[in-house]
């Protein structure tokens, strides 16, 4: 079976992946990667949101079609970083081909929105990675006061173009849609221009994954719902943001989990087939399970994640979170399977390598675990983020694993690198204490263990640290 891939990139970028089944015996695999953004021409910082919003809407439409594979925008951004591209850097045809090669794509689609004072139009370029052929599609010009900005008062013309572009992409790929699938592609998620704009701005802040940006995302998603109380995608994204607030704060703000559950359930009430709703509900129950030690919540998370995968089987983070939950429940085989699937979908995802390394550690396959942690570090260096939270954890876990392999010098070097990133990160000191404990250096072990208990009196290693301290004393 021949494997093919499809990219949708904007002049900033847009990527899409699918798996299509053609005639019996002639299956063709198509990968659709996540849409990043359509370029705005002429460029206008305040109007870039329309480009990301347009791309997000098209990818959401296509991701609900059976046989289409969606890779999230965050995966695309990681690929851009690995190529040394800035977040706002324009993607030329040359760069698009490089991204296509990195992500094993067959087709790249560059998109742009040309806007003026009284009209706008949308264009795409389809780049064939094998033949280097380029096909161009341009929508009919849409008359609109203030150009693309005018959709705040009248979104209907934009919804029409969304559908045209989505249908054109499926046509270019030879995808034959049945009546139900055509209905899905032509579905309008909101008829409110102001809601659409608020939602797009919220998404831009959400994917930055910082507490301050997440709070701004919550603000914009809330505004979107105020403008359109039946905007299911906005409810799901608000649920994601509420849950993410808890995750980013390492278990603080736990009251936001109930808010996340409430708005995620509202998303599914409005649209029972919305995978984003099941994913956000699963995330809320995941954090509730881990931070509140609630086994029933973890079971609920599994249930909702599995429903999300029924509608979109290519959610990388859903697979990883399921792997993490199964690991906590002691189901190693399922944990390994889920983490391996996530890596298959996005080999360049450093967090995926961290998770699969944790599974291998639990299996006591320390050399395999170490290989995954070091791969995560290589990816972070490649993305020029060697001091990220993922890199920090990878150094600590590498140190712990080197200890298990009795390579104390390399373990100490990893802990030193972790402490340079964050001197007050508790697991670093728990790990260092265990290293000195194993080397029978009681003084240094006690010093590190006491520092750990001071930094994290309720931390995950408290029980084992206190046990080793008792033995020292």
Residue 17 confidence (pLDDT) above 50: no
The 10s digit of each residue's pLDDT in 59-101 is 888 877 776 666 677 777 788 888 888 766 778 888 888 887 7
Q: Which pTM was predicted?
A: 0.83
Pick the residue with more confidence: 212 or 28? 212
Q: What percent of the chain has pLDDT over 70?
A: 90
Of the ranges 83-87, 192-196, 309-313, which one carries the lowest mean pLDDT score?
A: 83-87
Domain 356-472 has CATH 3.40.605.10: no
Mean pLDDT, range 331-349, rounded to an integer: 93
Distance CA 400, CA 124 (A): 49
Peptide bond into 42 cis (omega under 30): yes
pLDDT at 22: 32
Q: Is 420 helix (H, G, I), strand (E, B) or coil?
A: helix
Query: What is the distance, to the nearest Å, from the Cα of residue 417 to the centroid of all Cα atoms in its chain?
Result: 27
Residue 346 confidence (pLDDT) above 60: yes
Pick the residue with more confidence: 20 or 117? 117
Mean pLDDT, range 167-172, rounded to an integer: 81
Q: What is the mean pLDDT of the chain?
A: 85
Pick the residue with more confidence: 374 or 129? 374
Separation in Å, CA 410 to CA 234, 308, 316, 416: 47, 41, 32, 10
The 10s digit of each residue's pLDDT in 411-432 is 999 999 999 999 999 999 999 9
Beta strands in 11-133 (DSSP E): 28-29, 39-41, 107-115, 119-128
Taking only Cα atoms into account, the Rg of the chain, rounded to an integer number of angstroms, comes to 24
Q: Is 230 left (phi over 0), alpha (psi -120 to 50) or beta?
A: alpha
Q: pLDDT class for 306, splitting at 50, 70, 90?
A: very high
Where in the chain is CATH 1.25.40.10? 356-472
Residue 447 confidence (pLDDT) above 70: yes
Distance CA 376, CA 320 (A): 14
Mean pLDDT, range 151-166, rounded to an integer: 88
Length of the chain: 473
The 10s digit of each residue's pLDDT in 218-239 is 999 999 999 999 999 999 999 9
Of the ranges 138-142, 262-266, 276-280, which one carries the lowest mean pLDDT score?
A: 138-142
pLDDT at 271: 95
Q: Which residues contact 386 (CB under 8 A, 6 or more apart)?
A: 377, 380
Q: Which residues contact 450 (CB under 8 A, 6 or more apart)?
A: 469
Q: 423: exposed, middle or buried (C-beta count within 10 Å: 0-12, 13-18, 19+)?
A: exposed
The 10s digit of each residue's pLDDT in 371-384 is 999 999 999 999 88
Q: Which residues contact 45 (CB under 8 A, 6 or more apart)?
A: none
Q: pLDDT class for 135, splitting at 50, 70, 90?
A: confident
Where in the chain is CATH 3.40.50.10070? 1-182
Distance CA 162, CA 187 (A): 10
CATH topology of domain 1-182: Rossmann fold (3.40.50)
């Amino acid at each position: 079976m021949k494997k093919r891939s499809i990219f949708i990139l904007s002049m900033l970028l847009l990527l899409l992946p699918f798996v299509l089944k053609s005639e019996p015996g002639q299956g063709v695999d198509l990968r659709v990667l996540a849409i990043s953004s359509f370029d705005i021409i002429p460029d206008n910082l305040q109007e870039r949101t329309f480009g990301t919003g347009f791309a997000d809407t098209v990818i959401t439409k296509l991701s609900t079609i059976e046989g289409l594979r969606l890779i999230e925008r965050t995966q695309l951004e990681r690929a851009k970083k690995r190529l040394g591209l800035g977040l706002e850097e324009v993607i030329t045809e040359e760069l698009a081909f490089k991204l296509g090669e990195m992500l094993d794509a067959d087709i790249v689609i560059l998109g742009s929105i040309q806007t003026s004072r009284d009209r706008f139009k949308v264009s795409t370029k389809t780049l064939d990675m094998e033949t280097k052929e380029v096909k161009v599609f341009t929508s009919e010009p849409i008359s609109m006061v203030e150009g693309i900005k005018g959709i705040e008062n009248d979104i209907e013309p934009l919804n029409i173009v969304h559908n045209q572009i989505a249908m054109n992409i499926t046509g270019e790929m030879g995808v034959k849609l049945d009546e139900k699938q055509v209905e899905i592609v032509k579905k309008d998620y909101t008829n409110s221009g102001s809601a659409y704009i608020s939602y797009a701005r919220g998404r831009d802040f959400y994917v930055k994954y910082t507490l301050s940006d997440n709070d701004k995302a919550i603000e914009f998603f809330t505004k979107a719902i105020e403008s359109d109380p039946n905007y299911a995608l906005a409810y799901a994204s608000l649920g994601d943001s509420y849950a993410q607030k808890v995750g980013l704060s390492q278990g603080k703000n736990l009251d936001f989990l109930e808010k996340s559950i409430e708005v995620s359930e509202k998303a599914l009430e409005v649209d029972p087939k919305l995978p984003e709703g099941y994913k956000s509900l699963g995330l809320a129950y995941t954090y509730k399970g881990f931070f509140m030690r609630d086994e029933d919540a973890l079971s609920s998370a599994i249930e909702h994640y599995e429903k999300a995968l029924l509608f979109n089987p290519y959610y990388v983070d859903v697979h990883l979170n399921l792997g993490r939950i199964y690991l906590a429940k002691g189901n190693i085989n399922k944990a390994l399977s889920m983490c391996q699937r996530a890596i298959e979908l996005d080999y360049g995802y450093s967090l995926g390598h961290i998770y699969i390394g944790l599974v291998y550690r639990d299996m006591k396959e320390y050399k395999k675990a170490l290989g995954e942690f070091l791969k995560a570090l290589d990816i972070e260096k490649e993305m020029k983020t060697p001091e990220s939270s993922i890199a920090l954890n990878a150094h600590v876990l590498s140190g712990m694993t080197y200890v298990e392999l009795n390579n104390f010098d390399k373990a100490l070097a990893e802990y030193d690198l972790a402490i340079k990133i964050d001197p007050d990160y508790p697991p670093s000191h728990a790990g260092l204490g265990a290293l000195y404990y194993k080397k029978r250096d009681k003084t240094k072990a006690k010093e590190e263990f006491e520092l750990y208990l001071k930094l994290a009196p309720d931390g995950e290693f408290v029980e084992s640290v206190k046990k080793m301290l008792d033995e020292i004393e």
